[in-house]
Amino acid sequence: MNVYRLSSRLKVFIFLFSVLQILVLSSLLLIPFIDLPSNSRAYQLYDFCCSSAYLHVILLILIVAAIIVAFLLVINVFKRKVIFTSDSIISKSIFSTQKLIFSDIKGYKIRHSILYIITNSNEKRRLVINLFTFDRTDNLLRNLEMRFTNLDF
């Protein structure tokens, strides 16, 4: 059983970007509680665009939704993996888990550094793997070459 995880550089980048996004958006939630002088530019801009309660609610919902997406990205970075077992290929993330048994796989294609594992039937979806994001993709491609046909040729 081979487990392929996201590369450590990508994990660090997404983690830092998401933490920065969470900090910036959380600080935006503090704006209504800060007292600003009435002649300041920030107060005039805030009064002009966000003076109604309706806009406050929409802005609050959008900021909270963006913070939740950032948390989901951080969790997905550490949960995302592709598992190559003796009889199947499993792709796991927090959003979905997809398992393809070797008998269901017709072959694979590589287009623009994205690996497509094609199934025999239309009932099962193909598996899509971005080769830039995972470590040891050459090992994954070698395992696929030994078991399946390359549909690019």
Please report, for residues 8, 10, 19, 23, 129, the alpha-carbon distance to residue 93 in angstroms, rounded to integers and kept in the order given.
16, 15, 20, 25, 12
Of 67, 98, 88, give the one whose Cα is nearest residue 144: 88
Tokens of 148: 């399946």
> 19-64, pLDDT tens digit by residue?
998 888 888 777 767 777 778 787 777 677 666 666 777 878 888 8
Across the range 120-135, mean pLDDT stands at: 84
Of 105, 111, 103, give the one whose Cα is nearest residue 149: 105
pTM above 0.95, yes or no: no
Determine the Cα–Cα distance for residues 76 and 72; give it in Å rounded to an integer.
6
Q: Specify whether the CB–CB gap between 84 and 4 falls below 8 A.
A: yes
Helical spans, DSSP H, in 29-115: 41-49, 53-79
Which residue type is seen at 67? I
Q: Which residues contact 15 (CB under 8 A, 6 or more apart)?
A: 74, 77
> 134-150, pLDDT tens digit by residue?
888 888 888 888 888 88
Which domains does the chain carry? 2-79 (no CATH), 83-150 (2.40.50)
